[in-house]
Amino acid sequence: MTTYVLIPGACHGGWWYQSTARELRQHGHDAYALTLTGIGDRAHLLSASVNLDTHIEDVVRLLEDERIEDAVLVGHSYGGMVIAGAADRVPQRVDALVYVDAFVPEDGDSCWTLTNDWQHEWYMSGSAETGFALAPLDFFDPRTTAHPLASLLQRIRLTGALEGVRRRDYVWASEFQDSPFTRFHERLHGDPAWRTHALPTGHNVMRDGADDLLKILLDVAER
């Protein structure tokens, strides 16, 4: 049995992975679909102090409290920042990392430094109402909620400890127009330390590429 910890992107909660988690459990694995602090059913905890470190700590606490030592951390979009930070802090509890059309940071990076102009505009215009929370885009699922802006601006601190995880995969959504994530697929494709996958979907890989994503996740569990 493998334990998957599934981290959604900005504005989304654990429900984003509901179908994926169900399928993983049906294959005999354990799956935690995590909602990060300040979002979804934890929106009552949203404040200007919620940042990337807060979300990394959400994952670390789960791994420690549940005594998980073989985690496959799966991060979609913004979630790539979170799984990188968590794996760097407690590498002894992480077996593999799967970035699903997600940011892959190096030390000192932030979502702001890694993304493109149209997302910069979203970050700034979407935070105008409160000054510290990013509003969901109009086409997002109605369940989405505001996202703490500080988590997108804070620079990540990485020691390199996550380089020791057994396996790292990158899943690229090739049909996402003007994608800020293409650069990561291009950088990692051909790197022997990574396995890359190009899926003919938009950014909502969990919906449009569910079967292919499930195959990738199950393959990651094979040692």
The answer to whether 127 is a known catalytic residue is no
How many Cβ atoms from other residues are within 10 Å of residue 162's Cβ?
A: 20
- Out of 19, 47, 77, 127, pick the active-site residue: 77
From the list 65, 68, 58, the residue with the least C-alpha distance to 31 is 68
What does the alpha-carbon distance between residue 93 and residue 218 come to, in Å, rounded to a whole number?
A: 19
Helix axes 52-65, 79-89, angle to 10 degrees: 60
How many Cβ atoms from other residues are within 10 Å of residue 158's Cβ?
A: 18
Contact 212, 199 (CB under 8 A): yes
Q: Report the alpha-carbon angle 208-212-216, nearest 5.
A: 135
What does the alpha-carbon distance between residue 68 and residue 60 come to, in Å, rounded to a whole number?
A: 10
Name the CA dihedral angle for 153, 89, 62, 115, rounded to a multiple of 10 degrees: 30
Report CA torsion sign: 72, 215, 82, 55.
negative
Give catalytic residues, as residue numbers.
Answer: 77
